[in-house]
Amino acid sequence: MHAIRRLFLLTLLLFPLFFLTACGKKGDPTLRDYEKPLPPAGFQAIHREQRIYLQWSYPREKEYAIAEFIILKSSGGEFEILAHIEKKQRSHEDTAIENRRDYRYKIIARSITGIFSDDSNLLGVSPLAPPRPPSDISFSLQGDSLVLTWSPGEKNMFYNVYKSLEKGRYGMAPLNSMPISGSSFTDSFTIHKSVYYTVRSLHDSAIRDESAPSDELAVDPFELVPHPPHNFRYHAAPERVFLYWDEPQESWVTRFRIYRKISGEEFRLIGETLLPAFIDPEPALTKRDYRLHAVGPAKEGPGSELSGVIYTAPPE
């Protein structure tokens, strides 16, 4: 009995030691956790629709070490906290602004252990009254290019062009790499899907100081109608008729359709071709007419005609 009691008491004494040894503390901070975090980079401001859009960058692989971003703002006095931003975000909108008033912004990162990064670059922002947007947005196709043109809303403006695959939804990044000083822009043409464009006027200021968007321009390839093919001609041989025409300038023409009419009949489709040439295997022993149409991504354009085609034997 005494031996059992001693074993029980020994177990009670050793159990806490075993528990502490086996479990211990987990997730203790390391020296790495006390490093100063990197400051946010590329801090920039965009002014549009009576808002200051603030944007910055931060390495995704460094997010584990930070708890948040803190944006600070000054309108002439000391910097005050404008917003605490979740660490996965890279933008913020400041709506408490007035035109022609001076503001300063900076942003810092706070680590999970409460250590603050150095300041980002300092932004000085003096939003101007927004200019009028451009009007009369239109496009033309030149080979593989789409040329946008517009009428300036005001004199001495720059412009940014925005493009989207979804009607009414545009990002913050313009299509052009630098502000446009003229009233046109050339983009590559996409034949397989609709695209949408809008243009904003831009002050020549230290920040991107933009107007409201222009009217939206939709470019739907399936609504394009080709011109009639040029220089439609033929050569009639004893057993077939060779038809030729010039290569179209419209790069988005997908094929050609050839129609034939014989002896007062109506035109009927006799074939399609991808090339600017076609062979009618029926000899032209009697007069016939041909009609040639170019076809776009969906629609057929007006036709070019050849009349009175007949084979004439060469003189002996």
Q: What is the pLDDT at residue 19?
A: 37
2 located within any domain: no
d(CA 231, CA 96) in angstroms, rounded, equals: 65
Instruction: Note the pLDDT tens digit of each residue in 64-100.
Output: 999 999 999 999 899 999 999 999 999 999 999 999 9
Confidence band for 191, pLDDT divided at 50, 70 and 90 = confident
| Domain shared by 153 and 207, yes or no | yes
Residue 162 has pLDDT above 90, yes or no: yes
Do 185 and 106 meet the contact criterion of CB atoms below 8 Å apart?
no
225 located within any domain: no
| Domain shared by 115 and 139, yes or no | no
| Domain shared by 188 and 142, yes or no | yes
Q: Which residues of 139-153 are buried (b: 16+ CB within 10 A; e: fewer)?
A: bebeeeebebebebb
| Domain shared by 37 and 120, yes or no | yes
| Domain shared by 114 and 141, yes or no | no
Confidence band for 227, pLDDT divided at 50, 70 and 90 = very high
| Domain shared by 140 and 93, yes or no | no
Q: Please tell me the total count of domains within the chain.
A: 3
Weakest-pLDDT range from 22-36, 138-152, 286-300:
22-36
- Give the per-residue SS3 of 70-115: EEEEECCCCCEEEEEEECCCCEEEECCCCCCCCEEEEEEEEECCCC
Domain boundary among 190, 219, 248: 219
Q: What is the pLDDT at residue 33?
A: 66
Tokens of 286: 């009697």
Average pLDDT over residues 32-37: 81
| Domain shared by 255 and 288, yes or no | yes
Per the structure, the complete domain to which residue 81 belongs is given by 31-125
| Domain shared by 118 and 142, yes or no | no
Indicate the pTM of the whole model.
0.75
13 located within any domain: no
Residue 25 has pLDDT above 80, yes or no: no
Q: Is 103 exposed, middle or buried (0-12, 13-18, 19+ CB in 10 A)?
A: buried
| Percentage with pLDDT > 90 across the chain | 79
6 located within any domain: no
Residue 6 has pLDDT above 50, yes or no: no
| Domain shared by 113 and 59, yes or no | yes
Do 71 and 150 meet the contact criterion of CB atoms below 8 Å apart?
no
d(CA 315, CA 270) in angstroms, rounded, equals: 31
Domain boundary among 165, 193, 219: 219
| Domain shared by 302 and 278, yes or no | yes
Domain boundary among 176, 193, 219: 219
Tokens of 47: 């002014």
259 located within any domain: yes
Instruction: Note the pLDDT tens digit of each residue in 278-316.
Output: 999 999 999 999 999 999 999 999 999 999 999 988 877
The sign of the dihedral angle between the CA atoms of 273, 275, 276, 280 is negative
20 located within any domain: no
Q: What is the pLDDT at residue 2?
A: 44
> Domain with 299 in it: what CATH number?
2.60.40.10
